[in-house]
Amino acid sequence: MKLHMQILIALGLGIKRNWHIFFGIILGIVVGIFLHGHEYPLVSTVLTFIGQVFIRLIQMVVIPLVVSAIVIGITSIGDNKQLGKFGTKMVVYYGIITSIAVAIGAVLALIFKPGVGAAHYIAENAASEVQASVAAAMEQQHNVLNIFLGFIPSNPMHSFAAGDMVPIIVFVLIFAVALAKVGDVNRPIVSFFESVFAATMKITDWIMYFAAPGVFALTASAVSSFGIDIFTSISKYLLVLFIGFMLQLCVVYPLFLKFFSKVNIGMLYSAVAEAMMVAFGTASSSATLPLTIACCEKRGISHKIASFVLPLGATLNMDGTALLQTVAVIFLAQAYGVALTPFLIIEIALLAIIASSTCAGIPGAGLITIALILNGMGLSPEQLVAGFAFLFTIERITDMMRTLVNVTSDAVVVAAIADNENEINYDLLNNPAAYEDIA
């Protein structure tokens, strides 16, 4: 069977199993279009409230889940050599997927030039100021070391309280490796985290009863705020993003899995369809994480691999975000008439890889860490106000798309690693019917 048919059928199966969430998305789009341009303050307040309840409920379990999953994952792998092997493989796989995403974003943005049409909205003096700043920055290179410094938490409790995921993960990784090293005395604390993990997964099950109304409300309020007209005014930019995301989903991931594993992409997509839909609805990889783990484990990926690779992926692997950031920055450069030299393009691509992986898996984070790329180019977001205004008008919808891509690639990488390590039960993965029986 042709690959695209396999993907469609698999997604169909996944949607059939979770038709209520899919229905929530479609109904959300229809209601959002209807509400756009009308004043129904009560309806918008209620929709925002329902959406926020759903997001807050899932965010509530993220930190306990990430901490317990990483501790269990690392201590169960135990031996140093295996841990090093998994860890390296994970970084390499995530690195490959994100670099391809950035390359696709850059090539598409250079071919379609989405920013050129936006140039007439930008005041001439603003444009020349921006051009001068970029030129000056290109002469003296910037220090990216400070970015890395920020990843080391000087006070982990502060990072926990502030919900800063990257420093939290750095601390928990070091803590878990130390626990693995100290041998049997770690038992009480590891069993403690096993209980925390089990309880948070149970809470996730309960929260998922609320997924359909939650996703409906979030989609409806996002769509009602911009209506469909926005699609025409900024269509080129959206088109470039859409093509880029589709290439990742329908070409890059299937090829990646073919090359590095025996996993059938269709079966994987059918397994994680529910997580993909919730990612789209919530625009948050972290919030979707409990579900991504549940979907992967239910369909045969071992707990050992899933609990180690997915929490890290949900925070560090943001290929959809990297693609968007590359396109967005090239869009701004084109709109402001900045000369896109090969050197500048490579710098944008490298900074996008760093900026995306420092970005938290929460709504809107990707547009904020674009500041890091602009900073590297010698600019501040304030200098690009008019250009940013464009990006913000459609922020939510692009966030929904890029988060779906982010979450899917986490699943692709975890499946490849599980395959390589013989940690996948193919009877479950390749047999959605068997899954229905045990679900």
Minimum CB distance to ligand ASP, residue 226 (Å): 17
Please, which residues bridge with residue 424 across strands? 301
Which is nearer to ligand ASP, 263 or 283 (by Cβ)? 283
Minimum CB distance to ligand ASP, residue 195 (Å): 27
Which is nearer to ligand ASP, 75 or 317 (by Cβ)? 317
Distances, alpha carbon 23 to alpha carbons 45, 117, 322, in Å: 22, 36, 29
Q: How far is residue 373's CA from residue 271's CA, in Å, rounded to a whole number?
A: 35
**Is residue 402 at the binding interface for ligand ASP, with CB under 6 A as the rule?**
yes
Which residue is closest to ligand ASP by CB? Answer: 366
Minimum CB distance to ligand ASP, residue 356 (Å): 7
Residues in contact with ligand ASP, shown as a per-residue x/- string from 351 to 390 under the rule CB under 6 A: --------x-xxxxxx------------------------
- Structure token digits, residue 159: 């990072």
**Is residue 274 at the binding interface for ligand ASP, with CB under 6 A as the rule?**
no
**Is residue 167 at the binding interface for ligand ASP, with CB under 6 A as the rule?**
no
**Is residue 399 at the binding interface for ligand ASP, with CB under 6 A as the rule?**
yes
Minimum CB distance to ligand ASP, residue 406 (Å): 4
Locus of tokens 């709109």: 335
**In angstroms, how far is CA 323 from the centroid of its own chain?**
11
- Interface residue with ligand ASP among 98, 261, 284, 357 (CB under 6 A) is 284
Q: 416, 394, 353: which is closest to 114 by C-alpha?
A: 394
Minimum CB distance to ligand ASP, residue 45 (Å): 24
Overall residue count recorded for the chain in this entry: 439
Which is nearer to ligand ASP, 328 or 429 (by Cβ)? 328
**Is residue 66 at the binding interface for ligand ASP, with CB under 6 A as the rule?**
no
Distances, alpha carbon 298 to alpha carbons 80, 291, 303, 424, in Å: 28, 10, 10, 11
Distances, alpha carbon 201 to alpha carbons 294, 312, 405, 410, in Å: 8, 17, 23, 18
Find the angle CA(319)-CA(370)-CA(287) to the nearest 5 degrees: 55
Q: 390, 321, 309, 416: which is closest to 361 by C-alpha?
A: 321
Which is nearer to ligand ASP, 279 or 305 (by Cβ)? 279
Minimum CB distance to ligand ASP, residue 388 (Å): 15
Minimum CB distance to ligand ASP, residue 281 (Å): 12
Minimum CB distance to ligand ASP, residue 400 (Å): 8
Minimum CB distance to ligand ASP, residue 65 (Å): 15
Minimum CB distance to ligand ASP, residue 9 (Å): 27
Site for ligand ASP in 405-424 (CB under 6 A): 406
Q: How far is residue 94's CA from residue 419's CA, in Å, rounded to a whole number?
A: 16
Q: 315, 360 in Cβ contact below 8 A?
A: yes
- Interface residue with ligand ASP among 383, 403, 408, 430 (CB under 6 A) is 403
**Is residue 313 at the binding interface for ligand ASP, with CB under 6 A as the rule?**
no
Q: How many chain residues bind ligand ASP (CB under 6 A)? A: 16
**Is residue 165 at the binding interface for ligand ASP, with CB under 6 A as the rule?**
no
Q: Which stretches within 299-384 are classed as H helix?
A: 303-316, 319-335, 342-357, 365-376
Which is nearer to ligand ASP, 83 or 391 (by Cβ)? 391
Q: Is the dihedral of CA 162, 167, 173, 176 positive or negative?
A: negative
Q: 304, 309, 277: which is closest to 291 by C-alpha?
A: 277
- Interface residue with ligand ASP among 285, 302, 315, 409 (CB under 6 A) is 285
Which is nearer to ligand ASP, 66 or 359 (by Cβ)? 359
Which is nearer to ligand ASP, 221 or 261 (by Cβ)? 221
Amino acid present at 161: A
Q: 263, 277, 168, 172: which is closest to 218 by C-alpha?
A: 277
Q: How far is residue 379's CA from residue 373's CA, in Å, rounded to a whole number?
A: 9
Using DSSP's 3-state secondary structure scheme, residue 243 falls into helix
Binding site residues, ligand ASP, CB under 6 A: 283-285, 318, 321, 359, 361-366, 399, 402-403, 406
